[in-house]
Structure 1
């Protein structure tokens, strides 16, 4: 650290000594790194000055949002500066006529959602980490959510971005207009770039009118019944906003964690199917069709929720699964996406691989858009080295299945630091080569999130 004292002193002059904090260690699971310091700038101008200084001095910078990442994207590379965006937390403007909101990217996602709802507007992403994740982080990895089945990912709602480039220059990537055919789409290039091309400091986000929602919870005896039910819902033209899945083990863990065993049913598979309608529309035709289909495919009584309180009560068994897993045991999360049409076959192959390795785990996911998460619980009978080797072999086998079925790894959590080994198998050599070339154009010195993705 002594050889960087001059640079750190210069950085203190930019943000103030109280906003540059020495760090001795940063832990992320089994990984431990030692950044030089963490900085907490307040403005785009301060970030610009920081990057100019770091660029001149070849000082590496790792960008940190809310820290909810499970891919190691916020992990220090060692001997770098962690640049936290938590003080860039202003909602600048909600424009009800244009249906857009302009925010700094350190705004907590849930805070943004609640603010725009006051205007009768809606950011249609119910991201599970919304209570702690920053909107900038969601943009940086193109976060998905249960609502992605109908609305796509966060990327679909990003209109324009203010970005600080690695050399400190500040640009806007587009214009605040719904149609723009003027050249390459730089906005979407930065959306999903995981902080490797620039630091997103402001975002203009598209909104939609607030919707009326209703929710079914349905359990099934067999996976065939469940998939046939979903297929018929879709072929009949019904339009759910979310179709969420949890296997029996996961559902039991959620019920146990919530200390509410009333919901346990003697079935193997559960789904939550949510619908949105305009407040002036009648739901009766869709409700009648749904009730007929449930009677056809499920032997258990489905639960229905319409009010906000009732829906929250039903959703909690799905939304708390991450906390329930952590409460049960340390686990590794593997995230992938596949076409829905092949997801049943892939699911069966994956469960067979997990059984072959004698792993205990659950499968949970956004089944409607083919995005699943495998949570494998750590085997304490193995040494850390044995465990790491065994889980790597297992996930490489699963990755091979995903790739062969036209899928993507990761699906929604981003590549970060931990998923690089799977990403390299999921994406072609030429595509990675082109991505690396893009990285070199924006960041020729490779100082920004340099060990992420590639």
Structure 2
């Protein structure tokens, strides 16, 4: 205990005593998941000093962004300090000519998005947790979003990163240029590394011109009709920015949560299909094509939104599904990605597997890029341990199915602490060995985000 107090005193000298909050309950040391302390640095230099101290003293560090993680990536290992990035919250520069923004890692993602839009530019991701997640955390887990169908994940838009390494050294991973073939791509190495290789403190992010958007909400009577519709939309060359999916149970759940019965569907599967445009006049033929295809595949009334208010009213049924699930019951979120052409078959197989296990749940997701989320609700007839054990058996069966069809588990939430068992099945032994060797080179003492991923 005296040794811990001494270390905390040293850390207080770096950031100030008011920026270090210690946990006094260390009675069950080794069993408790509480950290030794939470520390709130305000600069990259302070983080560098902290990491040099922790490296020298073999003190483990868990990095915390906005805390929206569902993979347990911000959980303390019980013998660490938690390093919060919330004070690194400055947007440093928006460069309109280069179409890039330089930002600190602790900026709330929605604030970044709103700021660049003032300059006529767009951060091309509409991440669901944007209101609370930090941009550094989104980079660290290589976040996806509904717009990943058109723009890919965060990885496609990260130009350069400032990173503090486990031993306290500060590096930039690249240059702020569009073309750079000088050696290995370290920027992409740290993007998606979940804080296990280094602490992202600043990022240079590529932006796109701000677009107008229009949105269709389309219910279908069958999964087959829905997939046939999406197939034809893509085959004839239309270019949606988002294709989102929600099953019947999910739509019923979110409608009840919102207490909004303006949209009534009956045993239908719903998609939101969004398009981007520069000039309305040039896109009128696309609207006509869409209306023709909707009439061909759906007997239900589709809705169209053009104004910001109309789009917000339609999107809320998709965007609020997480809150609706939390309000309904305790649940576990399992996410995976599968090649689109296999996704209908996988979807139908998963429904059967869930039925065989007598689970109540919903399936929601980014159907355009094959990334789905299964939310399974707590079975109150089982104890917590029985329920979790039953879920794990079910998800292991689904994981094997996903892998057989060339998919990935997890899809977009990262591995963190909770998804390691699925990651171990999803990734080959040689790939894992290489990843572990990279971790060993950059963090030989394994002090950073200990017990995450591996």
Q: TM-score if structure 2 supplies the norm length?
A: 0.98
Partner of 1:193: 193
Partner of 1:10: 10
Alignment of 1:18-97 (within 5 A): 18-23=18-23, 33-97=33-97
Q: Tell me the alpha carbon deviations over residues 4-50 of structure 1, each in whole angstroms, 9 at most, x when there is no partner.
A: 11111100000001000123689xxxx96110000000000000000
Partner of 1:365: 365
Alignment of 1:223-372 (within 5 A): 223-279=223-279, 282-372=282-372
* d(CA) in 1 for partners of 2:183, 2:357: 50
Using a 3 Å threshold, how does the CA distance of structure 1 residues 32 and 353 change in structure 2: closer, same or farther?
farther
Measure how far apart 1:279 and its partner are.
3.7
* d(CA) in 1 for partners of 2:333, 2:25: 24
Using a 3 Å threshold, how does the CA distance of structure 1 residues 25 and 239 change in structure 2: closer, same or farther?
farther
Alignment of 1:118-137 (within 5 A): 118-137=118-137
Query: SS at the partner of 2:364?
Result: strand
Query: SS at the partner of 2:445?
Result: coil
Partner of 2:450: 450
Partner of 1:378: 378
Query: SS at the partner of 1:234?
Result: helix
Using a 3 Å threshold, how does the CA distance of structure 1 residues 300 and 25 change in structure 2: closer, same or farther?
farther
Query: SS at the partner of 2:322?
Result: helix
* d(CA) in 2 for partners of 1:225, 1:392: 32
Q: Tell me the alpha carbon deviations over residues 153-202 of structure 1, each in whole angstroms, 9 at most, x when there is no partner.
A: 01100000000000000000000000101100000000000000000000
Partner of 1:108: 108
Partner of 2:183: 183
> 1:252 touches 1:264 (CA, 8 Å); kept in 2?
no
Partner of 2:397: 397
Using a 3 Å threshold, how does the CA distance of structure 1 residues 280 and 332 change in structure 2: closer, same or farther?
same
1:218 counterpart = 2:218:
yes
Deviates more, 1:108-117 or 1:17-26: 17-26
Measure how far apart 1:277 and its partner are.
1.1
Q: Tell me the alpha carbon deviations over residues 374-415 of structure 1, each in whole angstroms, 9 at most, x when there is no partner.
A: 000011110112111101100000000000010000000000
Query: SS at the partner of 1:233?
Result: helix
* d(CA) in 1 for partners of 2:289, 2:71: 41
Using a 3 Å threshold, how does the CA distance of structure 1 residues 258 and 299 change in structure 2: closer, same or farther?
same
* d(CA) in 1 for partners of 2:239, 2:32: 45
Deviates more, 1:379-388 or 1:396-405: 379-388
Measure how far apart 1:280 and its partner are.
6.4
1:154 counterpart = 2:151:
no
* d(CA) in 1 for partners of 2:20, 2:196: 22
Query: SS at the partner of 1:446?
Result: coil
Measure how far apart 1:258 and its partner are.
0.3
* d(CA) in 2 for partners of 1:385, 1:376: 15
Partner of 2:138: 138
Measure how far apart 1:281 and its partner are.
5.2
Using a 3 Å threshold, how does the CA distance of structure 1 residues 24 and 275 change in structure 2: closer, same or farther?
farther
Using a 3 Å threshold, how does the CA distance of structure 1 residues 364 and 55 change in structure 2: closer, same or farther?
same
Partner of 1:167: 167
Using a 3 Å threshold, how does the CA distance of structure 1 residues 377 and 25 change in structure 2: closer, same or farther?
farther
Partner of 1:414: 414
Query: SS at the partner of 1:447?
Result: coil
Q: Which runs of 5+ in 2 are unaligned?
A: none
Query: SS at the partner of 2:282?
Result: coil
Q: Which runs of 5+ in 1 are unaligned?
A: none
> 1:25 touches 1:33 (CA, 8 Å); kept in 2?
no
Using a 3 Å threshold, how does the CA distance of structure 1 residues 346 and 262 change in structure 2: closer, same or farther?
same
Measure how far apart 1:450 and its partner are.
1.5
Measure how far apart 1:214 and its partner are.
0.2
Query: SS at the partner of 1:238?
Result: coil
Deviates more, 1:413-422 or 1:277-286: 277-286
> 1:251 touches 1:317 (CA, 8 Å); kept in 2?
yes
* d(CA) in 1 for partners of 2:45, 2:281: 47
Query: SS at the partner of 1:400?
Result: helix
Query: SS at the partner of 1:263?
Result: coil
Q: TM-score if structure 1 supplies the norm length?
A: 0.98
